[in-house]
């Protein structure tokens, strides 16, 4: 979806988002390129948006938290169309992408992504066999900002890699422990068995 059609973006910073979500009574995680930056501890590149992942089961709580915001859902997904997210409306799959701005006159600043769960397990909407305990989905940085674990975020980025995804992969690869590499490799195999990242994810010895 292009800015010239749907309005322009001035993304919030993760620290701003943490202030907005300070009263959240549900789990949430910074996602996208910012998640990789939080994992590696440094800035890597400019960002066109700020992605936030929440669980579909918690969407009503998210809607209440952002009750004063202007919220639009991408419907149908990936077709360049937005419509208002009506208060009280429960979004069902495949709807998962929500654009957020403080008022209709301000830029878009946050992009919400709804993901699936079964019990205590997160379930990938791209490959249901890829799953993980919810309490292992993310980490928290030294200032208290929660973010997706790098291996989970790289799985999302592996589907159709762009230059910025390669940048993020190169930055995150050295910090991945063996268990993280194994999980990511197995997850990628479920969606792209011949993905070039798989050769790079072989466990390495650490001395």
- Mean of all residue pLDDT scores within the chain: 93
Q: Which whole number is the average pLDDT over 166-189?
A: 96
pLDDT digits (tens, 9 = 90+) for 93-140: 999 999 999 999 999 999 999 999 999 999 999 899 999 999 999 999
Rounded CA-CA distance 52/114 in Å is: 9
The pairing of strands 51-55 and 110-118 is: parallel
Q: Which whole number is the average pLDDT over 145-169?
A: 96
pLDDT digits (tens, 9 = 90+) for 4-54: 458 899 999 999 999 999 999 999 999 999 999 999 999 999 999 999 999
For the whole model, what pTM was predicted? 0.92
Q: Measure CA of the first residue to CA of the last residue in the chain; give whole Å.
A: 46
Compute CA distances 97 → 76, 111, 199, whole Å.
10, 7, 31
pLDDT above 70 covers a percentage of the chain that reads 95
Q: Where are the beta strands (DSSP E) in the chain?
A: 28-31, 51-55, 70-74, 82-84, 97-101, 110-118, 121-123, 131-133, 138-140, 146-148
> What is the residue whose two structure tokens read 């980025």?
157
Closest CA to 152 of 171, 131, 170: 131
pLDDT at 203: 63
> What is the residue whose two structure tokens read 């990938």?
124
pLDDT at 204: 58
pLDDT at 69: 97
pLDDT above 90 covers a percentage of the chain that reads 90
Domains of the chain: 3-149 (3.30.460.40)
pLDDT at 166: 96
Contacts of 132 (CB under 8 A, 6+ apart): 121, 122, 152, 183
Give the distance, in angstroms, between the CA of residue 155 and the centroid of all CA atoms in the same chain.
11
Q: Which whole number is the average pLDDT over 180-201?
A: 96
> What is the residue whose two structure tokens read 């010239």?
4
């Amino acid at each position: 979806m292009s800015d010239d059609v749907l309005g322009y973006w001035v993304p919030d910073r993760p620290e701003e988002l943490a202030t907005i979500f300070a009263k959240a009574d549900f789990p949430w995680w910074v996602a996208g390129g910012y998640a990789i930056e939080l994992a590696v501890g440094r800035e890597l590149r400019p960002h066109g948006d700020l992605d936030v992942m929440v669980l579909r089961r918690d969407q009503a709580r998210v809607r209440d938290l952002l009750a004063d915001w202007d919220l639009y859902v991408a419907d149908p997904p990936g077709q360049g169309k937005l419509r208002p997210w009506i208060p009280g409306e429960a979004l069902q799959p495949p709807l998962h992408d929500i654009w957020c701005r403080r008022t209709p006159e301000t830029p878009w600043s946050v992009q919400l992504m709804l993901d699936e769960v079964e019990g205590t397990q997160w379930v990938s909407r791209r490959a249901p066999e890829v799953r993980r305990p919810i309490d292992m989905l993310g980490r928290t940085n030294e200032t208290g900002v929660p973010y997706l674990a790098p291996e989970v975020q790289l799985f999302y980025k592996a589907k159709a890699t762009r230059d910025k995804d390669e940048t993020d992969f190169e930055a995150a690869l050295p910090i991945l422990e063996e268990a993280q590499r194994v999980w990511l490799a197995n997850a990628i195999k479920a969606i792209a068995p011949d993905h070039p990242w798989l050769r790079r994810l072989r466990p390495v010895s650490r001395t």
